[in-house]
A and B are shown apart, each in its own frame.
Chain A
Amino acid sequence: MNGYQRIADMTYAYNADIGLSYSSPARGVWNIVHIGTLVPQSHQIFVCPTSCLRGVVLTTAELGAMDQMSTITVGEDNILEGDMEEALYNGVVKILSRLKERPRMVMVFTSCIHHFLAVNYQRVYKILRREYPDIDFIDCYMDPIMRRTAPPDPTLRRQITRVLRPLPKDETSVNIIGNEFRTGEHSDLYMYLVNNGMTVRDITRCDTYDEYLQMGSSIANITFHKPAAKAGKDLEARLGQKWLPVRTTYDYDVIDADMKRVCEALGIPAPAEKTIQEERRKTEELAEEVRTLLGDTPLSVDYTAVDEPLMFTLWLHEHGFRVESCFIENFTEDKAVFEALQKKLPDLKVYSSLNWNMRTVDRGHEGMITAVGQKAAYFNDTNHFVDVVESGDMYGYRGIRRMLELIREAYRNEKDMRSLVQVKGWGCHCG
């Protein structure tokens, strides 16, 4: 498959998201509808032109969650009349009067066109909040035109936490913020906190809105992914909850440092050196076992599957795996990792899945390849792939071992790639 650059020939400033782009059929990454649907007892209202509504409505329909979403279509008449505020207000009132169950929280998504027409939606929300004091109205945004400065995904991860209010602090309670998937046995941090008597709150574990609001009582917020940073910072400023970002990485030292920092902040002992060494030993053993199994079979990695695709690639290479290609749209990891790969694996093929050339490449791979991620699977046209997005429920050494198990499973067994990658919102059962 052509259309790649050798990493040795690239600069760290690489960013493929510069303009004209292609949309591949691999659709597992979550969009704002999936994220919004995590909030229990909530309702989403999208206020957009037809062309923007189509995607979110059918995302919702595919989730079987049409009862959690309504729309207000922006028409030419609104543009000409300048009555966007009235249309928004009247639409929300009408929707609330028709719903069978009164939502506890309403997310109103305005779109690109509202920015350009300078719509005063905050005034509408102010009125709505006064008229419906039992409902939390949250301003949300489906405005990809702002993606350079305020992308919709991180903004929404922050906005859904805006309903959390100051509560008396519970010193044994900590939140996970901005995760899409419920973490558990494949996360070192989750297991360690629980085993040390902490209550770990996470929106993915909340069945009711009241339960969700209790997250205001935690003393700290842990974020695992970069798009959650806005939420972490915001909660620290608003509620005084300490923000504890950790990296979902394959760098052992970073894992250990992050774990230690979180434990110190929460007032619990950090993992003992002996425990760390034992975790590392188990991880190395499994890595060797899986590497032996794969032998010379190449791997292809993509950025939708793991948070740090370059670090992951480097880790695999250093553990004897044969990584052939990496699908990535820009370099956001440490420059040192990029440079290490340039030195140690100069022939690594780097693809941009957004590039227009990817539409016409001959998808496929000569001989067997195992992919990590849907895009890598699609472009290599392989049924041997790890089907996961945004690192799934994995973190730390347990997470690395889980990934190794998934690679082993993908190597041994085929999946129906064509069907699986086209499903929107991998693992989203929130509907």
Chain B
Amino acid sequence: MKDWHTHVFTSTYTADVSGVCSMLYELGGMTVLHDPSGCNSTYTTHDEPRWYDSKSLMFISGLDEMTAVLGDDSVLIRDVVKAAEDLKPRFITLCGASIPHIIAFDYRGAAKLIEKETGIPVLPVATDGLRSYVSGCGLAMKAWIRRFGNKQAEKIPGRVNILGVTPIDFSRSENAEAMRRAFEEEGFSVRVFAMNETFEALQEVYQAECNIVVSAAGRSPAQYLWKTAGIPYVEGLPSGRDMVRKIADAVRTGKCTSVCQDYDPDGRTLVIGEEIFACTLASQLHGQPLWPDVDEGLDEDVLLEKMEQADRIIADPLFQYGRRGDAAFIPFPHEGYSGRIFRKDIPVFTGNEFDIERYIRERK
């Protein structure tokens, strides 16, 4: 019987609420997680390497039993208004976990009331704490673009947006910079959503001729921009010189496509991780990718079976728990899975310089 719910041995990917916070972290806003407790400290402790050294505004609403039972949204609204008056963020984002979801908290209504009272733009991002960060990143980015993107901007030849860049998938800012550099060397001008960029730079999102989706988190904003503004998108992780060129060539065709689908679904090398990452590496290694579903994560039974059948596994070190078989295990830490535990071991795996074969050799 299929059972994605039970995990006897393995960890869990981070949730949508962390995705929202991570995606909007550097843009000068204030993000409020509507939840009793825990989601905020989980995000700041495990998923956010920038927390200690910056002052980005991320808070938990502290929802309690009576407030939830009575549906008293005025508590949240009052607190957010007061904090906004003190802290003067550029914008406010409301997201939340499972209790607001099941009591049908009206994100849009609360956002309107807060905006009316503070004069500060408020983005309602109706997360539910049940889905993965991929969903949260996408919802947050779409909401931000919808509200702040300059739709009147004229296209700039050679401009591309790199979508889906957060520390959850890329950890170090060097990874964001390596991608930027790689595409600049290919003659593009680049905007990275959303690391090491300013609010104003990202407002010019509609100047792009093409979007590059480097993680699944960037897919839904890319689809949104394709549907609403006709900006095509290319999926693929610029990991190594060949992939950079392949993506660059695809971008120049001006068509929507994916350049990370050359993997072997029966390959003996198993790459586990974020979807675009896993597909890209599996394509390079003639292996098979395995990635978590946004709603259901990874089915542990399927996961363990595939690990047992593989000759070689490339995955976050936490996947070693409960594994059967004697496949060679190449650790490739992923912040979205193991959080900060192996953060120092996360390589710069984007850009022209990265070579997956060499990475594997060095870890054998």
Residues of A within 8 A of B (CB): 17-23, 25, 27, 49-55, 57-58, 61-62, 66-67, 70-76, 78-79, 87, 90-91, 94-95, 98-99, 112-113, 115-117, 142-149, 356-357, 359-360, 418, 422, 424
Contacting pair A145 B65 (CB below 8 A): yes
Beyond the given A116-B68, A116-B99, could you list 19 further A-B residue pairs with CB under 8 A, ordered by the A residue number?
A20-B62, A50-B13, A50-B15, A50-B16, A51-B18, A51-B97, A55-B38, A55-B45, A58-B338, A66-B9, A73-B6, A75-B296, A87-B5, A91-B6, A142-B38, A145-B64, A146-B65, A357-B86, A422-B52
In the complex, chain A residues whose CB is within 8 Å of the CB of B64: 145, 147-148
Known: A67-B321, A357-B86, A418-B52. A22 touches B59 (CB 8 A): yes
Residues of B near A19 (CB, < 8 A) are: 61-62, 75-76, 78-79
Whole-angstrom distance from the CB of A249 to the nearest CB of chain B?
28
Q: Let me know if B76 and A58 touch, CB within 8 A.
A: no
Q: Could you say which residues of chain A place their CB within 8 Å of the CB of B45? A: 23, 25, 27, 55, 58, 422, 424
Kindly supply a per-residue 1/0 record for chain B positions 15-41, scoring 1 wherever the CB is within 8 Å of any chain A CB and 0 otherwise: 111100000000000001001111111
A61 contact set on B, CB distance < 8 A = 11, 318, 338-339, 341
Inter-chain CA distance A57–B9, complex, in Å, is 10
B15, B102, B128: the one contacting A54 at CB < 8 Å is B15
Whether A145 and B99, one on each chain, are in contact in the complex, defined by CB atoms closer than 8 angstroms, is yes
In the complex, chain A residues whose CB is within 8 Å of the CB of B128: 49, 76
User: In the complex, A231 Cα to B6 Cα: how many Å?
Assistant: 31
Interface residues on B, range: 35 or more
- Say how far A75's CB is from chain B's closest CB, in angstroms: 6
Q: Is the CB of A51 within 8 A of B35?
A: yes
Report if B132 contacts A (CB, 8 A).
yes
Q: Which residues of B contact A73 (CB under 8 A)?
A: 4-7, 12, 297
Contact assessment for B65 and A50 in the assembled complex, using a CB-CB cutoff below 8 Å: no
Label chain A's interface by main secondary structure: helix
Task: Select from chain B the residue with minimum beta-carbon distance to A151.
Answer: B37
User: B12 touching A57 by the CB < 8 A rule?
Assistant: yes
Set A50, A94, A95: member contacting B130, Cβ < 8 A: A50
Please name all residues of chain B whose beta carbon is closer than 8 Å to the beta carbon of A57 when the two chains form the complex: 11-12
By the criterion CB–CB under 8 Å, are A20 and B297 in contact?
no
Give me 21 A-to-B residue pairs in the complex whose CB atoms sit less than 8 angstroms apart, sorted by A's number. A22-B59, A49-B97, A50-B15, A51-B18, A51-B39, A52-B98, A54-B18, A54-B339, A55-B42, A58-B11, A58-B341, A71-B12, A73-B7, A76-B295, A79-B102, A79-B130, A94-B8, A95-B6, A113-B102, A116-B99, A144-B37
Which one of B15, B78, B83 lies within 8 Å of A51 (CB-CB)? B15
> How many cross-chain pairs have Cβ atoms below 8 Å apart between A and B?
197
Contact status B295-A75, CB under 8 Å:
yes
Give chain A residues whose Cβ lies under 8 Å from the Cβ of B17.
51
Knowing A70-B6, A70-B7, A149-B65 touch, does A23 contact B339 (C-beta < 8 A)? no
Q: Which of A22, A91, A112 has most B Cβ within 10 Å? A: A112
Residues of B75-98 whose CB lies within 8 A of A: 75-76, 78-80, 82-83, 86-87, 97-98
Q: Are A25 and B51 in contact (CB under 8 A)?
A: yes
* A148 x B13 contact (CB < 8 A): no
| Chain A residues near B68 (CB-CB < 8 A) | 116, 145
Nearest chain B CB to A77 CB, angstrom units: 8
Residue from B7, B66, B86, B102 whose CB has the most chain A CB atoms within 10 Å: B7
Contact of A99 among B8, B295, B338 (CB under 8 A): B8
The smallest beta-carbon distance between B69 and chain A, in angstroms, is 8
Q: Are A18 and B44 in contact (CB under 8 A)?
A: no
A66 surroundings in chain B (CB, below 8 A):
9, 11, 318, 321
Measured in the bound complex, the distance between the Cα atoms of B101 and A115 in whole Å is: 14
Chain B positions 231 through 272: 1 when the CB is less than 8 Å from some CB of chain A, otherwise 0: 000000000000000000000000000000000000000000
Q: How far is the CB of B88 from chain A (nearest CB, A)?
A: 10
* Chain A, residue nearest B9 (CB): A66
Known: A51-B16, A116-B99, A145-B64. A75 touches B338 (CB 8 A): no
Contact of A359 among B47, B55, B129, B341 (CB under 8 A): B55
| Measured CA separation A116–B99 after assembly (Å) | 8
Q: Which of A73, A356, A357, A418 has the most chain B CB within a 10 Å cutoff? A: A356
Which B residues are CB-close (under 8 A) to A117?
Answer: 102
Does A72 contact B6, Cβ atoms closer than 8 Å? yes
> Closest approach, in angstroms, between the C-beta of A102 and any C-beta of chain B?
13
Contact B321 A51 (CB under 8 A): no
Cβ contacts B84-123/A at 8 Å (1 or 0 each) = 0011000000000111001100000000000000000000
